[in-house]
Amino acid sequence: MALVDAYASTPWYLEHLEPIMASLGTLAGVTRAGRKFRPRPPGMAPVALVASYGDLTIARHLGYKRFVLTQHGAGQSYGGEPKNPRADYPSYPGGRNHSDVGLFLVPNEHAAGRWRAKYPQAAVRVVGCPKLDHLPSRRPGPSPVVAVSFHWEFKLFPETRSAWPEYGRSVGDLVKSYTILGHGHPRRTDLRRYWTRLGVEQVRTFDEVCRRADVYVCDNSSTLFEFAATGRPVVVLNSREYRRDIHHGLRFWDAAGVGIQVDRGTELAAAVERALEMRPDDVAAREAAIDVVYQPRHGAADLAAAAIAAWAR
């Protein structure tokens, strides 16, 4: 008998749910993807599995009453200023309006601690990231290839903003020395003309980045840690907006050592060159950061499925 249906409004949420549904076997019901569904779909399972706050609200509208939320990224949150009224923004661990979620599945103890503190009545399980076991390997081809990506301009906190205004010109200088792939957060739709102007190929999916890139340059995204988990180097772009005296955890700043950190555009070319060298100290720092973010690194889908089965029955 089906126990769990999955709902994802976007492909980047779906990629976190599909491995769990596969591991659930006969307990898995249907997977609904997209944005248009009538309330109370026929034959619905008793539990809805979602990967975002927005999809949680849609699953409520569809008529589900029991919910499992799996984190769709690295578990980043922005609670470094506890008295800030935006510190419990619902899209991040520890966010408001999740009192009906019975089980939270998270990649690390940072996210787990925030959910436990906010909703002590809920079950919280640290399982890692189901997406990691399905990331593509680098396929054979010319190298070195450098993929560059930027966060979308989200003005919630200085740390959620994009560093693109500070590094755009410096990325143009990289074109002289490397094959560049242009990428961006899925919510960022304004970079197409920028990549075209630079003569850079735009790569829409992160899977394609993983297949083709030797190093990944980004400001703030879970993909920094995902790419690093494939054993390849990353370069971490710090904006002047990012506050060093505010500690949100993970990217800010406990796991920022996942890659070579850059504080200004003039440092970018040298940072890429160093990243490609794979120095032992840099590799060790990367591995330590990944250990903070993914606990464990592998087998998350099976752990998540087991947690759901134990909780829901």
CA distance 82 to 87: 6
Lowest mean pLDDT among 164-178, 243-257, 282-296: 164-178
> Quick check: helix, strand or coil at residue 296?
coil
Q: What's the chain's average pLDDT?
A: 95
Confidence of residue 307 (pLDDT cuts 50, 70, 90): very high
In degrees, to the nearest 5, what angle opens at C-alpha 58 toward C-alphas 53 and 63? 125
Residue 259 predicted with pLDDT over 90:
yes
Domain 4-129+296-312 class, CATH top level? alpha beta
Which SS3 state, helix, strand or coil, does residue 202 take? strand
Q: What is the pLDDT of residue 38?
A: 65
Buried residues in 9-38 as b, exposed as e (16+ CB within 10 A)? bbebbbbbbbbbbebbeebbbbbbbeeeee
Query: Whole-model pTM?
Result: 0.96
Burial classification of residue 287, based on how many CB atoms lie within 10 Å of its CB (0-12 exposed, 13-18 middle, 19 or more buried): middle
Dump pLDDT digits (tens) for 33-51.
Answer: 887 666 667 788 999 999 9
> What pLDDT, on a 0 to 100 scale, did the predictor assign at position 93?
98
pLDDT confidence of residue 39? 67
Q: Is 246 left (phi over 0), alpha (psi -120 to 50) or beta?
A: beta
* pLDDT for the residue numbered 113: 98
Token pair recorded at residue 170: 């410096």
DSSP letter for 263, please: S
Q: What percent of the chain has pLDDT over 90?
A: 90
Average pLDDT over residues 234-259: 98
pLDDT band for position 189 (50/70/90)? Answer: confident
| Mean pLDDT value across residues 127-155 | 95
> What's the pLDDT at 22?
97
Residue 149 banded pLDDT, cuts 50, 70, 90: very high
For residue 223, what pLDDT band results from cuts at 50, 70 and 90? Answer: very high
Name the burial class of residue 156, with classes exposed (0-12), middle (13-18) and buried (19+) by CB atoms within 10 angstroms of its CB: middle
Q: Is the pLDDT of residue 218 over 80?
A: yes
CATH class of the domain at 136-293: alpha beta
Per-residue pLDDT tens over the stretch 72-122: 999 999 999 999 999 999 999 999 999 999 999 999 999 999 999 999 999
Residue ranges covered by each domain of the chain: 4-129+296-312, 136-293
Mean pLDDT over 207-229 rounds to 98
Average pLDDT rounded to a whole number, residues 229-248: 97
Q: How many CB atoms lie within 10 A of CB 112?
A: 22
* DSSP per-residue letters across 56-111: HHHHHHHT--EEEEE-SSS-----SSTTSTTTT-TTSTT-SS-TTEEEEEESSHHH
